[in-house]
Structure 1
Amino acid sequence: MTPMKMKRHLTTKHKHLSQKPVDYFKRLLKDNKQQRRRFEKKVKVAEKTQEASYLVAEQAAKHNMKPYSVAEPYFLPTCAVVKTLFGDEAEKEVKKTPLSDDTIGRRIKDMASGIEKTVSELMEDKMYALQADESTDIGDKSQLLVFIRYIADNKITEQFLCCKELVQTSGQGIFSSVAEYLKEMGLTWKLCVGICTDGCPSMVGSVKGFVSLAQKENPLLITTHCFLHRENLIAKTHGQELKLVLESVVQMVSFIKSRPKQTRLFSILCEEMGSAHEGLLHAEVRWLSRDSVVESTRTETGNDSFLDSSGKT
């Protein structure tokens, strides 16, 4: 604004201040800056405190099946130890760490975005291979896990690429989810040299399977069968005695998971018994370690002898 316009604004809009000396306005400007600095000091979080918040968020993310609100009840009680070792001032500084569930959620998303950006930069114009597996979580939602493998610094590097909730579990639905994410990452099918999957029809179907649709984009793709699923196939040829035990476990789990009401009642029962787990897995893919399924079933029922000597329930 030109000086004349400023003078006219002062005399018309702030007539009661038009006769004030210049020092008066300088003092007002100085007071305003000091007030702003005091306010920023109160609300601004220190850089070290921000870093500590990210470290806590990383630990919260590593606690499987735990909500983001796990940070405050797990972290804040340690302030008593800090107070004992370093005094009241150290405790006050530690308590300034942002740990609300919304903050932890944002921190985890920021870290995930950072990992995606790093992988995207490393993968620029490089050939890669994918490993994909679709399964159902304990909430009965279909999830697609994708890992990526590429060469960096003259060695093979493997990274977790993405986890997508699937609306359609068909081969077309899986292909659309993966293709959309690869496009976001700036990756093309032309650079993909291989895909590793299980042997289910939605993955390896000759017409509408995920691998078949990917090969239409790049006919040179090499496909392989996941060795973990090979172990799953071998597990079906075990001895008769173990087969009877596993069939009993499958029947129990299938009975509980067959109806939502029975699943809810079982969860309530586990909660009342103080069990560490409140749900059961129900899919062939996730039963690769079947001894763990038998062990967890024994633990949940609280009965060490639910099988007799003949292997029957």
Structure 2
Amino acid sequence: MQGFHVQKNMFIQKNKEAQDVTEMFLKSLRISVLNRMTVQRRIVDLSGDIVDQLKEKSKQFVYFSLATDESTDVTSTAQLLVFVRGVTEDFSIHEELVGLSSLKGQTTGSDLLNGLLEQISVIELDLDKLVGISTDGAPAMIGKQNGLVQLLI
């Protein structure tokens, strides 16, 4: 009977230690939870920092090319994606997403061009260094008279 009480006391002691550790862990979680406005501000700060880094990198490009794609999301809003691939003087290649913009109304070549120019102006790309553009071949992208590529060149 004595052994049973010793085991019971040891179980109670271990259980109390586990509860103490659990409570400390939960308290630390409560402390580390951030206000939603703080999280939002940090995301905006990180986003601005990424844009600044891309601006600095793009200033080093000797030449660059663009890849664009337009698609419509589930809410029937057209989205334009723009990627840049640039090469620096020491032949290092950098590829980054420039941005995603929502297009209002139709997706004509001029609408796509406006969205593209808006995005590349954010990172201050010099169009004189543009050597190529790739698209998915849609008429709004490569149309002979009013396609994005024709309007860009």
Which TM-score bucket, shorter chain as reference?
0.7 to 0.9
* Deviation of 1:192 (Å): 1.2
Identity %: 32
TM-score normalised by structure 2 residue count: 0.74
* C-alpha contact (below 8 Å) 1:146/1:163 kept by paired residues: yes
Separation in 2 of the partners of 1:177 and 1:132? 11
Q: Which moved more, 1:196-205 or 1:103-112?
A: 103-112
The answer to which structure has the higher helix fraction is 1
Q: 1:155 to 1:85 in 2, by over 3 A?
A: farther
Deviation, 1:134, is 0.4
SS of 2:49's equivalent in the other structure is helix
Shift of 1:114: 1.7
Q: CA deviation at 1:91?
A: 3.1
What are the residue-to-residue correspondences of 1:155-166 with 2, within 5 Å? 155-166=92-103
1:115, distance to aligned residue in structure 2 (A): 1.4
Answer yes or no: is 1:204 the counterpart of 2:139: no
How much does 1:160 deviate?
1.1
Q: CA deviation at 1:186?
A: 1.5
Answer yes or no: is the 8 Å Cα contact 1:189–1:214 preserved in 2: no
Give the total of aligned pairs.
133
What one-letter code is carried by the residue in structure 2 that aligns with 1:149? R
State the alpha-carbon separation in 2 of the partners of residues 162 and 201 from structure 1. 22
Q: Which of 44, 66, 70 is residue 134 of structure 1 equivalent to?
A: 70
**Correspondence 1:90-239 to 2 at 5 A:** 90-126=25-61, 127-151=63-87, 154-167=91-104, 168-215=106-153
Cα-to-partner distance string for 1:173-209 (whole Å, 9 max, x where unaligned): 1111111222222212111111000111110011111
Q: In structure 1, what is the Cα distance between the partners aligned to 2:35 and 2:107?
A: 35
Seen in structure 2, the aligned counterparts of structure 1 residues 86 and 184 have a Cα distance that, compared at 3 Å, is same
Instruction: Select the structure with the greater relative contact order (CA < 8 A; seq sep ≥ 6).
Output: 2
Kindly report the root-mean-square deviation, in angstroms, between the aligned alpha carbons of the 2 structures: 2.4
Could you list the per-position Cα deviations for residues 72-109 of structure 1 after superposition, in whole angstroms to 9, with x for gaps in the alignment? xxxxxxxxxxx979553443233223445544444333
Structure 2 CA distance, aligned partners of 1:113 and 1:85? 42
After superposition, give the CA deviation of every residue in 1:127-159 in whole Å (9 maximum; x if it has no partner).
211100000011211101111111256432211
Q: CA 1:138/1:107 → structure 2, altered by over 3 Å: closer, same or farther?
A: farther
Cα distance in 2 for partners of 1:145, 1:187 equals 16
Q: State the match for 2:9 in structure 1.
A: none
After alignment, is 153-162 or 85-94 more displaced?
A: 85-94
Which structure has the larger Rg over C-alpha atoms?
Answer: 1
Deviations 1:193-242 (A, max 9, x none): 11000111110011111101111xxxxxxxxxxxxxxxxxxxxxxxxxxx
Residue 165 of structure 1: how far off its partner (Å): 0.2
